[in-house]
Chains A and B, each alone.
Chain A
């Protein structure tokens, strides 16, 4: 039985400032100076499709719990109790086990590493997920719905971090790394999981699915290509064209000019990379493989090498279920596994074997990709701190507690980001008092915290102050921002018919969930 201890929150005023209309961001200003004094941080984000791993197969059993009100002192309103307990692995047959999914060999998932991890439960997306590529990294518009959400594209948090002027303490070879296996509906290399804002437009950041290409970008020519004179000319060519050179005949529309300006920005980045020298240990050229677990393992190793030598400080990996499956290929993972094993457990057609195949695939990813990166970073960097100590390594999925649903996106984090985040905890944000979602097939479903706030906290943990990431929301939804919405991600409630049986805005995620989007999360952020 859990022992429950209720505590209040120290930052009530900050948390309620949005409700009161009082600007509180100025109070965060000192944090910026502090962020600039922090060591080089690193961010790795991983996503797998399709989700639908049932909670009892993903989350650990809670231990003795600490309970706080997420939105104020214990007895204040709004009332939303959340809780955390210590992460504790058990050892069986050489496996260290947190749950059916979260387990690995005991020499990989060591007690020390467990204490450097957190498992988050009850992180919700307020809107349509369907098939999405980047809801876990903030771009809800990258999905298959079309129409409304597509017009609300924002750059993903990996790009906000990678392009933030204070983030890289020294020049990097690549601002961010992107690797994907290619067969997933959502993790398809054709459908990038990342997006960047280039000259005002949000454009996909394409991943590679080839290990050799990833290696080549990072390690084939560490001293620079020596071709900078050419790229300088290429740059000059675009710049001159946009400024009317090459004769009066070059007539450009405004939109043409914008497109070329965007291209010019990208050439400038290429120019920067070619002029950057990063010395890494010799990283041997890997075999050129793609789209299976071996390719993902190699990518993980290359990421670790790059993160440790400073060739890059941000990485994203996405993987398809069929590529990480431990039980055969399952070409049609979506239909065969994700739905028949990740949906309604009360249906007569439900096949528990498919749920097992699903979580075994996710377990394989956890052990062979996520933990491979965590282990690779668990090496002393300086001053008694490891690379992992100064990193945040995240893993989430396309869907929440069942396939296509937006409740309880599973999140595992490792590293404290230089002391910003608490670790060694299983943190549950669900408001157990709210029973509106407790339908029969998902009896443990309750509204939790919105991912907008989690992403805002991650950005702050990476040294990006709120005023530096607010621009996305201001640009895409100025009215919502003016109405107090904060955090990272757009403000959009699920509009499909099915969800109309709920009053999402009043009963599930009241507006203060959005308005408190910048407020640090108790239990997960040390200063909260």
Chain B
């Protein structure tokens, strides 16, 4: 099977699908069937296969996701997790502020930022398509942790020494409470005091701060519970809650709630959940989730090819500025914020709402509106939800990438496990024939009846074909313009967005991108997939569809019922799993 990503040659996955090959859509000997039709001679008069005779007959496809809920099942065994890079950065700033006794100065903040820059970025697990942070710590982490520790101490030791008032051990212990995100024990305090030995308060506290910033309790999420309970303790719960919503250590009020025991009461807990959740910090922190879910870091540098005649002619008045890629990402996040927080929208709304909050005039122009920084309703026949946003459509060439777009919908948003393609060296981006549409070129390459490529691409291409209604800048279009290298238009073709592909095991025909988005908004695969992404973000680990089945199913059910997405996110704090302690202690 060939999986052509953005014109790249990825060939394979035929026969390597997770689903048995017998479950794949049948391709007729005449080339009919999904993706198997012969390409029509006239692109504006497509010869489409018939819909399945009986729409009730399930059309086999990729194996659907299934969650198995066993309330009496064992807790998952989970190794000690380190703080993610963003969590670490928040924790560093908390400790630095504790050291200086208040907000950081601009200089100290910059010094910290420079030091933190040397901390390796988190790497996502390479064994699947869903993001799970690789937990391994390497030498470069440990070296960088030391650099950051020195930077915190450089900025904070003198200020801390000035506040010692003859009790540096007491001050160090107070900072340790912040660093460890819980009250330190007397044994721990005694150990930390061994750093205070030079007789110079400044030097002593510098060493103490460095020690704190490299401590296991600072760098890892320790959870040990209390007594023989199978639930986390009060401070551990405070940490879980704070990192869930703010991706940062608990603030003083949450710590106080844990210390007083109030947090372990139903009322006290709900009050803290409500307080944290209502904070603007939650929205900001959740941007990290949406950025990861939608892979917003993949938005290309849009101005990269401004000097190429074909791209410049294609872009016209919308020639990208240097920050258009960031503006596209901001635009999508502003849309998500608006739907989730302002409209109390559901997951389905994220796939269907025709509203935008363009962050710049350039983005407004792409949508064909004038409003900037405020919600504006778009033409609902042209835009529907996230898949029709420029950030997920953009490419910095004059051509689109239907396979990249289709893969996002099928793999990223539907969690289909298509495997990875073979790597053949004899297939390339489709030919440059201006007489063919981009769709036709992709079909030529990946949907040859009987080819190994076809097996996977019947699940991918249709989404990309529907999204051909948007050009490489994300502008709505009804005609594809083919540009020659010198910028002249060598051909124009009408867009043919109609495509067939299985959704939830049933064959669907998309009449348009909006129609496709509405189909995905109702897809149970999409609902389950989102539940998995949200689980992984919330619990900081890979989900297990069996052992975590109850939590996943609860999330899926709320999503399916159309609950506001904000409520779905908030509900995580009330799942039994959220308080559950890992097993496997010695």
Contacts and interface: CB of A to CB of B under 8 A. Distances in A.
Nearest to A405: B425
B428 A247 contact: no
B429 A499 contact: no
Contact of A206 (B140, B305, B427, B585): B140
A261 to B, nearest CB: 11
A204 B136 contact: yes
Interface in A225-276: 225, 227, 229-231, 233-234, 236-238, 240-241, 245-247, 249-260, 262-263, 266-267, 269-270, 273
A192 B134 CA distance: 13
B41 interface: no
A329 interface: yes
Interface in B485-504: none
A251 B582 CA distance: 11
A204 B138 contact: yes
A343 B9 contact: yes
A128 to B, nearest CB: 7
B66 interface: no
Contacts of B32: none
Interface stretch (B95-103, B183-191, B251-259): B183-191
A363 interface: no
Nearest to B191: A237
B104 to A, nearest CB: 22
A441 interface: yes
A23 B438 CA distance: 60
A144 B301 CA distance: 23
A203 interface: yes
Interface stretch (A302-310, A344-352, A423-431): A344-352
A273 B363 CA distance: 51
A130 B5 CA distance: 13
A443 interface: no
B80 A256 contact: yes
Given A205-B138, A266-B141, A251 B224 contact: yes
Nearest to A249: B224
Interface in A131-150: 142-147, 150
B425 A403 contact: yes
Interface residues of B, number: 79
A237 B188 CA distance: 9
Nearest to B423: A404
A335 B216 contact: no
B214 A234 contact: yes
Given A146-B126, A150-B127, A270-B146, A262 B224 contact: no
B137 A203 contact: yes
Interface string B1-29: 10000111111101110000000000000
Contacts of B432: 348-349
Contact of A269 (B139, B222, B424): B139
B81 to A, nearest CB: 9
Interface in A182-203: 189-192, 196, 198, 201, 203
Interface of B: 1, 6-12, 14-16, 77, 79-80, 117-118, 120-121, 123, 126-128, 134-143, 146, 149-150, 185, 187-188, 191, 194-195, 207, 210-211, 214-216, 219-220, 222, 224-225, 300-301, 304-305, 396-397, 419-433, 452, 582-586
15 contacts: A147-B419, A150-B126, A208-B118, A208-B140, A231-B146, A234-B210, A255-B77, A260-B216, A266-B137, A267-B214, A344-B428, A404-B423, A405-B423, A405-B425, A496-B16
Interface of A: 52, 128-130, 142-147, 150, 178, 189-192, 196, 198, 201, 203-208, 210, 213, 217, 225, 227, 229-231, 233-234, 236-238, 240-241, 245-247, 249-260, 262-263, 266-267, 269-270, 273, 329, 331-332, 334-336, 338-340, 343-344, 347-350, 402-405, 439, 441-442, 496-499
Which 3 pairs across A and B sit closest by C-beta, in order of nearness? A496-B422, A206-B140, A404-B423
